[in-house]
Structure 1
Amino acid sequence: MTTGTELDRTLGFAILEQHARGRLVRLGPVLDQILSAHAYPPVIERLLAEALALTALLGATLKDESGQMTLQAQTEAGPVELLVCDYKDGELRGYVQFDADKLAAMPADPTLFALFGKGYLAITFDQAVSKERYQGIVPLEGASLAEAAQSYFAQSEQIPSLVRLAHRHDADGRCIAGGMLLQHLPEGEEGRDRLHTRLDHPEWQHVEVLGATIKDEELTDPTLPMETVVWRLFHDEKEVRVLGGATLTRGCRCNREHILGVLSRFPAEEQAEMADTEGTIRVDCAFCSISHPIKLEELQAAA
């Protein structure tokens, strides 16, 4: 059994002289809780595990703690029809909708294109305090989800980035996922295409080469402090600053109060159409696979 404080948290760091910043994440019990809601086949489990690690990396950058970050990948042709994950105040959730028959015809280790076909990746940041909403949508490209994320940053954010994602099972069969996001944030680039920083600032290539040496085992070893991983990668740099991180939990907002609030917005006639012959509306949560029966009488009483 894996224990310790190196699971279900993120860690930020900055390499000041090289104008680079990074973030590490390692998921354990939280990941198992999310996966246990569905009997996913191994290929889908790996996809969701890595997607949740990526979501935690991106969500932990939110300055507004009450804000939300959503990652969505969708296609019209591949076995995977929809992948959705989100992060809010340290809470993670996610699920995958897929065609089991199409998946069964796939090889044991399919590429991202084989799983999605022609699809897109959408990343959305909702800031609760300022009410601002930012969404970037790019074609789902690359051999892996990590490569697709790098393509997103290059096309949508114009920020040179390195993304690494990994997952494995421990001796007890529990799933562990880890990830690293490394980015170049040069000074004096306002008003210019950030992709030019690859030429203007060769230190990015230096940081990128060092970051690329990280091993899957380092990302997913629950006994290895993430601070040690940062030191291994960048100990020769003049100054590396650890920025702290977030503790992660499993979160789902499908409580009865929330569901009652949503259903109560519908007119009584539409509520009646949703109900079965016994006067019950059944709301199924795709994230946690729990069905919530709501009686029409309960809705009327809450109105």
Structure 2
Amino acid sequence: MTAYQTLDLALGFTIPDRHARGRFVRVGPALDKVLGAHGYPPAIERLMAEALVLAALLGSMLKHDAGQLTLQAQAEGGAVELMVADYKDGQVRGYIRHDPDRIAEMPADPSLFALFGKGYLAITFDQSVTGERYQGIVPLEGGSLGDAAEAYFSQSEQLPSLVRLASCRLPDGRHVAGGLLIQHLPEGEEGRDRIHTRLDHPEWEHVRALAQTLKSEELTDGELPLETILWRLFNEDEVRIFPAVALARGCRCDPAHIRSVITRFPPEERGEMADERGEIHVDCEFCAQRFSFALDSI
């Protein structure tokens, strides 16, 4: 065992002299809990793993507690109908609605286009303190979810960014997934050009070139501390590391809240919801739990 906790973590850092910031995420047990509730085929498992990592990479950068980051991908013509993953207060959850028959006909590692067809990725930031809600939408294009995220930052945030996502299934059946997000920031003082308005970014090109040497195996190696990866990549520069954020699988479905929602419907509509035994059933797609309520108890 290493001296570091290496799984279910988000680790932020900056490289001040290069005007860059970044974040690593690696999930293990939290990922197993999400996948264990659904029984997805391997291709969908990998997609769900990368979506959870991406949600954690983006969500753990929120400035205030209780904020939420939601990824939602909807598609036309692909085997995946809907993908949702979100992050709030260190907790991640997600689910994917797909066509099992079409997935079974695909190769072991289908392309993003094969999975989604013509699709779009919506990234929504809900800021708890200010109440602001911001959403950016980009086409699901490129070879991976990471490519789509890079397009989002380029178009919506106008920040040069690099995103790397990786996942694997270990021989014992456990899953590990990891990711890196690194960005070039505007150059400080008010009145100076934003970085995207300039024609050359030598600091960013240096950081990007080093980050591109990162291997998928390093991201998914549960015995390799994230701090060690940082040293391997950027040992020529000063790197400042922030306190790590612990990650966990968490679903916010609550029986009391669900009951309160049901009570808002008129009695006749509640009667239509009930089955022949007089029970209303509500399924949570995130955690695959069913909540049942007797009609005469509401």
TM-score (norm 1): 0.93
Counterpart amino acid of residue 271 in structure 2: A
User: For each residue in 1:72-130, what CA deviation from the matched residue of structure 2 results, as whole angstroms up to 9, or x when unmatched?
Assistant: 11102100111100111111100100011222222221110111011000000111221
Contact preservation (8 Å) 1:25, 1:57 = yes
CA–CA distance in structure 2, aligned partners of residues 32 and 190 of structure 1: 46
CA–CA distance in structure 2, aligned partners of residues 181 and 298 of structure 1: 49
Counterpart amino acid of residue 53 in structure 1: V
1:91 matched to 2:91: yes
Identity, % of aligned positions: 62
1:75 matched to 2:75: yes
Counterpart amino acid of residue 129 in structure 1: V
Aligned pairs for 1:194-205 (under 5 A) are 195-197=196-198, 199-205=199-205
How many residues matched?
Answer: 297
Structure 2 SS opposite 1:122: strand
Aligned pairs for 1:1-303 (under 5 A) are 5-188=5-188, 195-197=196-198, 199-237=199-237, 239-299=238-298
Contact preservation (8 Å) 1:84, 1:96 = yes
Q: CA offset at residue 39 of structure 1?
A: 1.0
Q: CA offset at residue 271 of structure 1?
A: 1.5
CA–CA distance in structure 1, aligned partners of residues 180 and 253 of structure 2: 30
Counterpart amino acid of residue 179 in structure 2: G
Q: CA offset at residue 232 of structure 1?
A: 0.6
Contact preservation (8 Å) 2:186, 2:194 = no
CA–CA distance in structure 2, aligned partners of residues 181 and 159 of structure 1: 12
CA–CA distance in structure 2, aligned partners of residues 91 and 263 of structure 1: 26
CA–CA distance in structure 1, aligned partners of residues 86 and 268 of structure 2: 33
Structure 1 range deviating more: 256-265 or 78-87: 256-265
Q: CA offset at residue 254 of structure 1?
A: 1.6
Contact preservation (8 Å) 1:53, 1:165 = yes
Q: CA offset at residue 161 of structure 1?
A: 0.4
Q: CA offset at residue 229 of structure 1?
A: 0.8
Structure 1 SS opposite 2:245: coil
TM-score (norm 2): 0.95
Q: CA offset at residue 188 of structure 1?
A: 4.8
Change (3 A) 1:173 1:257: same
Contact preservation (8 Å) 1:13, 1:244 = no
User: For each residue in 1:270-294, what CA deviation from the matched residue of structure 2 results, as whole angstroms up to 9, or x when unmatched?
Assistant: 2121111222110011111111111
Contact preservation (8 Å) 2:67, 2:89 = yes
CA–CA distance in structure 2, aligned partners of residues 77 and 61 of structure 1: 33
- The answer for unaligned runs of 5 or more in structure 2 is none
Change (3 A) 1:258 1:233: same
Structure 1 range deviating more: 248-257 or 180-189: 180-189
Q: CA offset at residue 144 of structure 1?
A: 1.0
Structure 1 range deviating more: 261-270 or 31-40: 261-270
Structure 1 SS opposite 2:150: helix
Structure 1 SS opposite 2:77: coil
Counterpart amino acid of residue 20 in structure 2: A
Q: CA offset at residue 189 of structure 1?
A: 8.4
Contact preservation (8 Å) 1:186, 1:201 = no
User: For each residue in 1:157-211, what CA deviation from the matched residue of structure 2 results, as whole angstroms up to 9, or x when unmatched?
Assistant: 11110000011122422000000000000215879675334x2432111100011
Q: CA offset at residue 4 of structure 1?
A: 6.6
Counterpart amino acid of residue 196 in structure 2: L
Change (3 A) 1:242 1:188: closer
CA–CA distance in structure 2, aligned partners of residues 189 and 148 of structure 1: 30
Structure 1 SS opposite 2:229: helix
Q: CA offset at residue 259 of structure 1?
A: 1.1
Structure 1 range deviating more: 181-190 or 163-172: 181-190
